[in-house]
Chain A
């Protein structure tokens, strides 16, 4: 279990994290928030890369031993002169995987990330997507208790994104997976619970349904003439030669126009304070 109590972080005079508290059990957690909301800072505090105020504790289920953490930062490259397999061996050494288990463990993560075929290819010859997958693979080494992915799907093609989502579902069964992304779709597809960070505060948290319910009664689809300046236009689509707008609004409109809210609606309601 990962427990965060009143975590705060200042950079000089600017407070980037403001008393964030939450608990995480095994499962996939999506961390949503605009740029500068404090997602990466929170991750770095969890990883002890930044000093912080408050308490962040990762308990081992077996007790005593400090559990392993896998981490994929927003930007991560590879050694240009080492092969994919050697890069993973480098990280395997770092994670103190037993010598006799290293080969099997590397095979496992190569398969999970669909990199088996390029295992002998040197880093400098890998595409951006492949480099990202090497990053994912190293984070999975040695079955960490906590895995943190910061914008993991950046650079992945649709097929790999789909594969990655399936992978997340699998690893979420035995680990705590924290995922930060801008892409709400990704979160909807895999995350059991969602946290929304805004201006360094934890603005909302809950299951997908709970986040969606934030927008209950606030989502409408209206024609162009019915949109007012106070409404937040979320999407627009064309149907029967007419433009339709999905809006978030506090106005009372006919029930016939009311839409079933989704995660993105809930997220935007929190973000735009509707």
Chain B
């Protein structure tokens, strides 16, 4: 049966073309790497290839969908469906067709796995954790989505005409594409229910514009549940289409099971979750939108107390669940005003005797009302987390920076600085004692001292917690180095960064620096401050970047460097950026972007919009101005 199906599958010219595009297309990603290897050169590829392939995953999805549809159309196109249906074994024949398609998916997934693992081995970024990650990635995106394409192709091929079928599969692919999701997400700001609806369509990798080496592309059960939902839905509909005429013994029960699984998967996928998904469009809490564009008010109030001691217990699941016991410096206040990021839902607030305390929550503020006889300790239990961005915590990965109120801090503090377009540095003004326990089977890294597995203790102005593809090593002079090891540019002692690392260590030594920790954290999209303490650097920077900052300003913190530039320097910057825009952007957007860039760069020197033409002609020449005008006319047309 399988032999005949193989012949049927491979003798179709259309399917051979689709297969060639599917497998040949991956040469676009691996070709330069093969070429480099062939020429004996080093080619750092791991993360870049993964990023590119996941970014373009929609083409794999579409090709598999078309392949499945075309293959399952063979029977109705040959006009033998009625003959087959008259036979009790016809489903078996169709299942062999499905198996054939699953083999195609598996072969493609295997090819993906082999190439990427080879990349990581070649880069020196391979670990067992990476291998298991790729298994999870392939399981979620390639296998589950592959089965979705097979069932969708099968269902539409057998229950719709050819043209209608093509229209339906294109519509389905469009609906799950990042393009449609982004459009829907924009609309969801106006109509929040859209956000709930589009979530179920998020089955292919989203937001792979910049894959973070600490997390890579997020893979979790919520994403897998969406795939399972579509498998359940299409599978149940297929089952219905096959057995609607017949009454089989267990038909009702199988149908019921299918419906239950489908609903369960849909419900699970909609449960609140906090995971890394940057540059995607599913956010309803993107803080740059929240505070900058929608003007959510942030209250500020100085605290009448400070918190001396934090005892934190954090459990990681789909989201973070925390129990934080705070010891305030003043026990007799009527109210304790605190800040805790608004995305955390308060479950319970009690005193040291376990008695419930009154509290009020408004946005990111939390006010806890005191007791007449005072409070020694306040226990706050909460759960949740941002479903968007890199500040998140779940069972796979976590980034809770020390400057972020993921734990209650005294006073009402601003979360986001709309002037600077970045998060406010909410480190404690004075260090407090911390005792933190993270309940997870994975390794958590922190700037605090680790006293037992995933237990941290010490004084800090705000501890940073990091989990993911992270390693810790000790550099030559005893500096703790915590870094994302999937990124070749952060690997210690490698050809890629050995020189910069040596330079950095030499500078520390020559300046008698007290720095004993360098922790590389993920780069936060909305902008996040780095942590530059006397003995610690915690930021999303590399050795090379730190060295350049130090050379420029004589200190490590890029935010503190002297940004004063004169007009001539700025004109040079505009010229450089102009040619960069010209090279990378199409005529339609070039004009607008150059004008905005000019205003951003030159306004502080008194240049206005009216001076734009004169500025360009004077500094770049008439020819470039004509070129820009042409681009502007494109926009207007």
Contacts and interface: CB of A to CB of B under 8 A. Distances in A.
Given A86-B4, A86-B7, A93-B4, A49 B83 contact: no
B78 A78 contact: yes
Given A48-B246, A66-B88, A76 B4 contact: no
Interface residues of B, number: 25
B528 to A, nearest CB: 59
Contact of A94 (B87, B244, B245): B87
Given A82-B7, A86-B7, A93 B83 contact: no
A48 B74 CA distance: 23
Contacts of B41: none
B179 to A, nearest CB: 35
A82 B86 contact: no
A49 B86 contact: yes
B11 A75 contact: no
Contacts of A10: none
A81 B8 contact: yes
Interface stretch (B89-97, B352-360, B518-526, B553-561): B89-97
A51 B8 CA distance: 32
A80 B90 contact: no
B12 A73 contact: no
A138 B83 contact: yes
B17 to A, nearest CB: 14
B80 interface: yes
Nearest to B5: A90
Given A78-B78, A81-B11, A89 B83 contact: no
B83 A50 contact: no
Contacts of A96: 89
Nearest to A70: B86
A75 B79 contact: yes
A47 interface: yes
B623 interface: no
Interface string B58-95: 00000000000000001000111011111111101100
A130 to B, nearest CB: 14
Contacts, number: 73
A94 B89 contact: yes
Interface string A89-120: 11101111000000000000000000000000
B83 A71 contact: yes
Contact of B82 (A48, A69, A76): A76
Contacts of A90: 4, 8, 93
B163 interface: no
A86 B87 CA distance: 18
B12, B82, B89, B93, most chain A CB atoms within 10 A:
B82
Contact of A79 (B8, B82, B87, B88): B8
A135 interface: yes
Contacts of B12: 81
Nearest to A51: B245
A71 B87 CA distance: 9
Given A47-B86, A49-B86, A79-B74, A94 B80 contact: no
Contacts of A86: 4, 7
B2 to A, nearest CB: 9
Contacts of B74: 79
A94 B84 contact: yes
B1 interface: yes
B80 A76 contact: yes
A80 B78 contact: yes
Nearest to B93: A94
B78 A95 contact: no
Contacts of A89: 4
Nearest to B12: A81
Nearest to B10: A81
Contacts of A139: 83
A96 B87 CA distance: 10
Nearest to A83: B7
B471 to A, nearest CB: 54
Contacts of A30: none
Contacts of A81: 7-8, 11-12
B86, B88, B90, B244, most chain A CB atoms within 10 A:
B86
Contacts of A123: 78
Given A77-B78, A80-B78, A93-B93, A135 B83 contact: yes
B89 A76 contact: no
Interface string B208-252: 000000000000000000000000000000000000111100000
Contacts of A93: 1, 4, 93
Nearest to A138: B83
A31 B82 CA distance: 20
A138 B85 CA distance: 14
Interface string A131-144: 00001001100000
Contacts of A72: 83
B92 A94 contact: yes
A91 B8 CA distance: 13
Given A79-B8, A94-B90, A138-B83, 18 more contacts: A47-B86, A48-B245, A48-B246, A50-B245, A66-B88, A69-B87, A71-B86, A76-B79, A76-B82, A77-B80, A78-B78, A81-B12, A82-B4, A90-B4, A90-B8, A93-B4, A93-B93, A94-B84
Interface of B: 1, 4, 7-8, 11-12, 74, 78-80, 82-90, 92-93, 244-247
By Cβ-Cβ distance, the 8 closest A-B pairs, closest first, are: A77-B79, A81-B11, A71-B86, A93-B1, A73-B82, A47-B86, A77-B78, A79-B78
7 contacts: A76-B82, A81-B7, A82-B7, A82-B11, A86-B4, A94-B87, A96-B89
Interface of A: 47-51, 66, 69, 71-73, 75-82, 86, 89-91, 93-96, 123, 135, 138-139, 148
